[in-house]
């Protein structure tokens, strides 16, 4: 065969498309990928509709963007119609020219796109069952939707421009679902609810504010943005914005330590937990042109070992943002769900993350006693932790005023034996396992407002400091403010300070 000879070996259409269906899109990530195109088309509104009818169910994504010409629609429906390294507008959230097709094929066997521009409407359809026919098995893009879909595209008639993406034959979503079956419909709508949570998270930067640049509607209800950083909460710790200049644009870094749950209302704690829960949502939140790609995780970073999702660091979250010009540098995948930090950035990312993790662990360990409020210097704690040869033990602090008072009142021996028994039988492993499995198992000591029990304990401790230790009353009150748990109740100490002690 001559050196310059070659053979054309186009892949069989049916086999290739079925392979593309295995890329691994979830329903929520697939719909988010479609909405990326709506944002690139300058849409102000996106309407997502889940219509249940058993195996005849369908999902549509409609936007009021600029629409497409007939030629551009054909290009959009072509697999790989745009080279991944082609320069894009800053607001363009695409990359490979595959998202519309692979996201749709992963969920449905029939993808129809109808678009309107310049007063004209155009349609194209990929129908996998049609392509799969033995006599077809070719890349045949059909010019119209299936019979009966005309009514679903009537929304475009009242719009100057826009696009509708329609998914039918939802074999990956409606498998085993039956029409007129409440359980099947509930499962279908549960998928819709999960999609709404995901869209509120991924596009929260677009959806936020009194006049958001984008609104998403799911089955007629507005999708609410989810702020993973609780930026407006007074107890959230925030590091300064750090800007790193790279050959492919400016990268922004910022760390957040969220408030301990004891500092949040039930509603705030539930909302801040995120779609996957507190522990799973820790780590880096990676944004590309303001669109979230990665929602938590440590990006394979860590020292001396790779960090994993652990309970003590669940309050640590970091924002990392780069422009779409840095796609190749960050190794973005087709689904836009994975980002790998460049080698030159990994050290700085690790340093900042280590700082945020350390602060988050402190807030977690002290159950929110620290945070934006200044830490109490020389705090007299009830327990003292000691680590020797890699083993940690916990001892009751004999210098704590309440403990010292009890030891003195008992004559010493009996109470000392009791303290040693408590120290030697602390179920450390059990407490840790219960915490990991069930979340935090109790609030901090004497949590919430000061109770009469706390007030009585504070008064007797103050009496001991004055009458037995010999401190001046003012000095004793100051000591009380630095003693656990009374440091959490400054108003109580102020009240006791004014009481008549005669």
Domain co-membership, 487 together with 410: yes
In a domain, 7, yes or no: no
Average pLDDT over residues 6-26: 83
What does the pLDDT read at residue 438? Answer: 63
Last residue of a domain, one of 198, 222, 246: 222
pLDDT digits (tens, 9 = 90+) for 219-250: 999 999 999 999 989 999 999 999 988 887 88
Q: What distance in Å separates the CA atoms of residue 19 and residue 23, rounded to the nearest whole number?
A: 8
Q: Alpha-carbon dihedral of residues 129, 133, 138, 144, nearest 10 degrees?
A: -50
Domain co-membership, 207 together with 242: no
The DSSP H or E segment spanning 184 is helix 182-202
For residue 106, CA distances in Å to 22, 50, 93, 130 come to: 7, 16, 20, 17
Average pLDDT over residues 476-481: 86
Domain co-membership, 149 together with 180: yes
Q: How many domains are contained in the chain?
A: 3
3-state secondary structure of 64: coil
145 DSSP assignment? P
Domain co-membership, 124 together with 31: yes
What does the pLDDT read at residue 85? Answer: 41
pLDDT at 362 over 80: yes
Domain co-membership, 361 together with 418: no
What does the pLDDT read at residue 15? Answer: 86
What does the pLDDT read at residue 447? Answer: 52
Interior angle at CA 387, CA 381 and CA 389, nearest 5? 170
Structural domain span for residue 350: 237-365
Domain co-membership, 217 together with 78: yes
In a domain, 335, yes or no: yes
Domain co-membership, 46 together with 187: yes
- More confident call, 421 vs 42: 42
Q: What is the CA radius of gyration of the chain?
A: 30
In a domain, 374, yes or no: no
In a domain, 6, yes or no: no
For residue 444, CA distances in Å to 263, 320, 424 come to: 11, 33, 22
Output the average pLDDT for the chain. 86
In a domain, 66, yes or no: yes
pLDDT at 377 over 80: no
> How far from the centroid of its chain's Cα atoms is residue 161's Cα?
33
CATH number at residue 18: 3.30.565.10
Using the structure block, give the residue that is written with the tokens 């082609």. Answer: 86
What does the pLDDT read at residue 88? Answer: 43
In a domain, 484, yes or no: yes
In a domain, 229, yes or no: no
Domain co-membership, 186 together with 282: no
Domain co-membership, 271 together with 347: yes
What does the pLDDT read at residue 96? Answer: 38
Domain co-membership, 448 together with 394: yes
Q: What distance in Å separates the CA atoms of residue 296 and residue 279, rounded to the nearest whole number?
A: 9
**188 and 174 in contact (C-beta within 8 Å)?**
yes
Which residues neighbour 233 within 8 Å (Cβ) at sequence distance 6 or greater? 258, 259, 264, 268
Confidence of residue 500 (pLDDT cuts 50, 70, 90): low
Last residue of a domain, one of 336, 365, 394: 365
pLDDT digits (tens, 9 = 90+) for 96-134: 346 799 999 999 999 999 999 999 999 999 999 999 998
Last residue of a domain, one of 365, 395, 428: 365
262: left (phi over 0), alpha (psi -120 to 50) or beta: alpha
Domain co-membership, 132 together with 175: yes
Domain co-membership, 183 together with 332: no
For residue 428, CA distances in Å to 311, 392, 393, 492 come to: 15, 10, 9, 32
What does the pLDDT read at residue 372? Answer: 46
Least confident of 36-40, 160-164, 476-480: 476-480
pLDDT digits (tens, 9 = 90+) for 307-360: 999 999 999 999 999 988 887 887 766 555 567 888 888 999 999 999 999 999
pTM score: 0.75
In a domain, 305, yes or no: yes
Per cent of the chain over pLDDT 70 is: 88
pLDDT digits (tens, 9 = 90+) for 25-73: 899 999 999 999 999 999 999 999 999 999 999 999 999 999 999 999 9
């Amino acid at each position: 065969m001559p050196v310059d000879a070659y053979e054309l070996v186009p892949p069989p259409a049916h086999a290739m498309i079925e392979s593309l269906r295995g890329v691994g899109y979830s329903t929520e990530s697939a719909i988010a990928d479609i909405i990326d195109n709506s944002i690139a088309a300058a849409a102000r509104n996106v309407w997502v509709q889940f219509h249940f009818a058993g195996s005849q169910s369908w999902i549509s994504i409609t936007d009021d963007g600029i629409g497409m010409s007939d030629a551009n629609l054909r290009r959009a429906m072509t697999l790989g119609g745009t080279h991944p390294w082609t320069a894009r507008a800053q607001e363009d959230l695409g990359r490979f020219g595959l998202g519309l097709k692979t996201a749709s094929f992963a969920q449905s066997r029939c993808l129809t796109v109808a678009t309107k521009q310049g007063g004209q409407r155009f349609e194209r359809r990929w129908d996998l069952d049609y392509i799969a026919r033995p006599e077809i098995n070719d890349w045949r893009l059909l010019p119209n939707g299936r019979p009966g879909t005309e009514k679903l595209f009537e929304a475009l008639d009242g719009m100057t421009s826009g696009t509708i993406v329609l998914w039918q034959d939802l074999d990956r979503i409606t498998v085993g679902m039956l029409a007129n079956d409440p359980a099947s419909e509930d499962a279908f709508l549960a998928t819709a609810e999960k999609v709404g949570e995901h869209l509120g998270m991924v596009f929260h930067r677009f959806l936020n504010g009194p006049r958001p640049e984008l609104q998403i509607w799911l089955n007629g209800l507005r999708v609410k943005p989810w702020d993973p950083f609780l930026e407006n909460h007074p107890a959230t710790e925030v590091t300064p914005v750090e800007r790193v200049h790279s050959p492919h644009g400016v990268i922004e870094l910022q760390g957040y330590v969220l408030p301990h749950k004891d500092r949040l209302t039930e509603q705030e704690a539930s909302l801040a937990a995120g779609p996957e829960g507190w522990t799973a949502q820790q780590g880096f939140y990676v944004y590309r042109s303001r669109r979230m790609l990665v929602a938590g995780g440590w990006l394979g970073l860590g020292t001396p070992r790779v960090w994993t999702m652990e309970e003590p660091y669940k309050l640590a979250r970091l924002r990392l943002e780069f422009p779409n010009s840095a796609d190749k540098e960050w190794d973005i995948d087709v689904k836009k769900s994975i980002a790998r930090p460049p080698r030159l950035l990994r050290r700085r990312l690790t340093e900042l993350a280590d700082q945020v993790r350390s602060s988050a662990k402190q807030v977690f360990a002290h159950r929110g006693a620290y945070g934006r409020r200044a830490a109490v210097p020389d705090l007299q704690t009830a327990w003292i932790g000691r680590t020797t040869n890699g083993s940690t033990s916990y001892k009751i602090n004999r210098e704590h005023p309440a403990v010292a008072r009890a030891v003195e009142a008992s004559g010493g021996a009996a109470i000392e034996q009791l303290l040693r028994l408590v120290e030697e039988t602390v179920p450390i492993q059990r407490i840790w396992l219960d915490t990991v499995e069930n979340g935090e198992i109790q609030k901090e000591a004497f949590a919430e407002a000061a109770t009469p029990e706390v007030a009585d304990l504070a008064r007797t401790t103050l009496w001991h400091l004055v009458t037995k230790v010999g401190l001046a009353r003012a000095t004793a009150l100051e000591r009380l403010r630095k003693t656990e748990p009374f440091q959490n109740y400054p108003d109580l100490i102020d009240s006791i300070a004014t009481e008549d002690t005669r």
